[in-house]
């Protein structure tokens, strides 16, 4: 099954980046799964790119998207779990904008269609999301300890989010203007995140996109993170996602089992129904990227993709259903 073609879908290097010393070997392993497009994630270093770039130039692999900050930046201030585009300090925020533009430069060079962006967060003195997840797993979301800490988190989040959102909007606007001036035709996809203090919620994404109408800023809907945040209580995908469906620039496809994410949809959970909520988005959004963890074995990836395609085909043939797109990524 290793040669099954998966045209229309891309695959993130987060799956196997820790297994390889050279970029070429990493990409070849992904190609062996049947993918002809990759998302280069934020842990891809300049050293790895020395053997990936010739593959791109020769047309051996295409790049659907790169994940900010790209290539890898060791400074945690500009990592994936930071205030990033929402920094109050003008110098630090300016640096974050520069790094986003640098990611876009690489994306443009590689012919990618999007930069995936973690916009920022409402900072807490400690990792309150991890503590909430510990209580969730040990006692459940209805436990008094969970509800008490959740309310504490939500109160601080709601009180402070406005300022961070405004700065994130301004940062994205500045980056968008730079991209336009350079003639870059790229989506800046603000990703739904895996910690409850991180930005954006679906409502926050709606606000940012509305504030930046006419810009390349879209929602990058990470399905697994969306499932996780709904379980924790941050938003309601069934109620809120339809209002954003036309503003989704891309998807990360993976499933969450409890609060453990990046699993193969349907296969690892053994749940044949819950993930169906996201079939409409998968069918309609052209940029579709599998973002799976290293524990997902090739056979499970093939099985999951096969189930997904069967469900999308059945949906396409159902009366009154939305047509399932073949995807905007070409092999």
The pLDDT of residue 327 is 37
DSSP state of 269: T
Tokens of 200: 């954006």
User: 234 in a domain, yes or no?
Assistant: yes
User: 143 in a domain, yes or no?
Assistant: yes
User: 180 in a domain, yes or no?
Assistant: yes
The pLDDT of residue 200 is 98
pTM value? Answer: 0.94
Rg (CA), the chain: 19
User: 43 in a domain, yes or no?
Assistant: yes
The pLDDT of residue 323 is 40
The pLDDT averaged over each successive group of 10 residues in the chain (331 residues) is 76 98 98 97 98 98 98 94 97 98 98 98 97 98 98 98 98 98 98 98 98 98 98 97 97 97 98 98 97 98 97 78 40 33
User: 175 in a domain, yes or no?
Assistant: yes
The pLDDT of residue 316 is 83
DSSP state of 143: S
User: 325 in a domain, yes or no?
Assistant: no
CATH of the domain at 188: 3.20.20.150
The pLDDT of residue 54 is 98
Q: How many domains in the chain?
A: 1
User: 5 in a domain, yes or no?
Assistant: no
Tokens of 78: 């500009």
User: 4 in a domain, yes or no?
Assistant: no
Helix locations, the chain, DSSP H? 23-31, 46-57, 90-109, 128-139, 144-182, 202-211, 223-232, 237-240, 279-284, 298-317
Which residue segment(s) compose the domain that 153 sits in?
10-317
Question: Could you report how far apart the first and last alpha carbons of the chain are, in Å?
Answer: 18
Over the range 7-37, which residues count as b (16 or more CB within 10 Å of their CB) and which as e? Answer: ebbbbbbbbbbeebeebbebbebbbebbbbb
């Amino acid at each position: 099954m290793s040669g099954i073609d998966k045209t229309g879908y891309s695959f993130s290097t987060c799956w196997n980046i820790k297994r390889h010393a050279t970029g070429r070997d990493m990409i070849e392993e992904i190609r062996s799964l049947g993918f002809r497009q990759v998302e280069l994630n934020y842990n891809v270093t300049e050293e790895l790119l020395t053997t990936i770039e010739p593959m791109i130039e020769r047309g051996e692999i295409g790049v659907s998207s790169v994940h900010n900050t790209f290539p890898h930046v060791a400074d945690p201030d500009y990592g994936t779990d930071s205030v990033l585009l929402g920094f109050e300090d003008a110098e630090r925020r300016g640096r974050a904008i520069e790094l986003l533009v640098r990611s876009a430069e690489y994306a443009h060079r590689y012919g990618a269609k999007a930069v995936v962006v973690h916009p920022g967060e409402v900072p807490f003195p400690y990792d309150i999301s991890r503590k909430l997840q510990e209580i969730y797993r040990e006692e459940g979301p209805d436990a008094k300890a969970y509800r008490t800490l959740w309310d504490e988190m939500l109160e601080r989040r709601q009180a402070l989010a406005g300022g961070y959102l405004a700065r994130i909007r301004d940062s994205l606007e500045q980056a968008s203007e730079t991209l336009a001036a350079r003639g870059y035709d790229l989506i800046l996809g603000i990703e739904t995140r895996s910690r409850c203090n991180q930005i954006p919620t679906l409502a926050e994404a709606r606000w940012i996109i509305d504030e930046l109408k006419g810009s390349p800023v879209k929602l990058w809907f990470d399905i697994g993170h969306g499932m996780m945040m709904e379980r924790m209580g941050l938003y309601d995908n069934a109620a809120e996602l339809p209002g954003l469906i036309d503003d989704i620039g891309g998807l990360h496809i993976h499933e969450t089992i409890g609060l453990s994410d990046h699993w193969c949809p349907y296969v690892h959970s053994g749940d044949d129904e819950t993930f169906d909520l996201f079939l409409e988005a998968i069918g309609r959004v052209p940029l579709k990227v599998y973002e799976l963890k290293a524990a997902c074995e090739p056979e499970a990836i093939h099985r999951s993709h096969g189930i997904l395609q069967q469900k999308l085909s059945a949906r396409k043939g159902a009366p009154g259903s939305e047509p399932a797109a073949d995807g905007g990524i070409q092999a």
